Amino acid sequence: LQTPQFQAVAAGDAGGGFLINNLVGANNFHQGASGAEVLLQTKSFQYTTPTFVDGLSLKYQYGAGTLNNNNDDANHYAADYKTGAFAAGVAYSTYKSGVADTTTDKATTYYATYDFGPVILKAMWGKAETSGYDDVNTTSFGFHVPMGAATFMYNHGSSDGRVNSSNTVTSGVDQAGDFIGVSYALSKRTTAYAAYYKETGSDGATANSGSSWNTTRFIVIHSF
């Protein structure tokens, strides 16, 4: 089940759910700060409150995973607000990434979007506190340009902070990534995507480590 973190990243990142499903799993610090672990949750239930204020939605999700990297004892909270062309929200999560973990990880994602018609602007900020000593921040901005059945997408994101590979060795995270993509609606249920993503900088895996990679993908998604 998609968590509020997933939905916040999908709303605030111009690559949206396509980027999450196909690219973010290879990078623990870009696009929402916390990587894939906190984006999907099995063995969980989700509750959305009734509408008390027009445009405001409040949500809670609990996950009781039992497998490593399945977000044990996870609590996800979200508030989303929409009025006219403007939308914004925040998602906050606390969880343990494995059965044996003694520390509680935290992730926070803020997003905002504005629909001007010819272009939809998107922005996001995220923070991850994991393993008791990792502290990484991300920022992201981009836009959608609808063109009939096609939509052009661009997003630039960056992340910085620290990651401890042990209690005594700290390495820095300093990454930047650019996403360019286009989607085309082949039918009401079928969409084709072409996307390119390039990332450079240090991933924090080891002291002074560097990471630079790119990928090009062509994907067709059909909803049954």
Instruction: Write out pLDDT tens, residues 143-179.
Output: 999 999 999 999 998 888 776 655 554 566 778 888 8
Q: Which residues pair with 82 in a beta bridge?
A: 87
Residue 65, pLDDT score = 66
pLDDT exceeds cutoff 50 at 25: no
Q: Identify the DSSP state of 25.
A: G
Maximal C-alpha separation, the chain: 55
Helices (H), the chain: 4-12, 16-22
Q: Which residues pair with 196 in a beta bridge?
A: 180, 216
Q: Which of 36, 9, 22, 4 is nearest to 138 (CA)?
A: 9
Helix, strand, or coil (residue 51) = coil
pLDDT tens-digit map of 65-98: 655 455 667 899 999 999 999 999 999 988 876 6
pTM, two decimal places: 0.83
Better-predicted residue by pLDDT, 1 or 189: 189
State how far the Cα of 108 lies from the Cα of 118, in Å rounded to an integer.
30
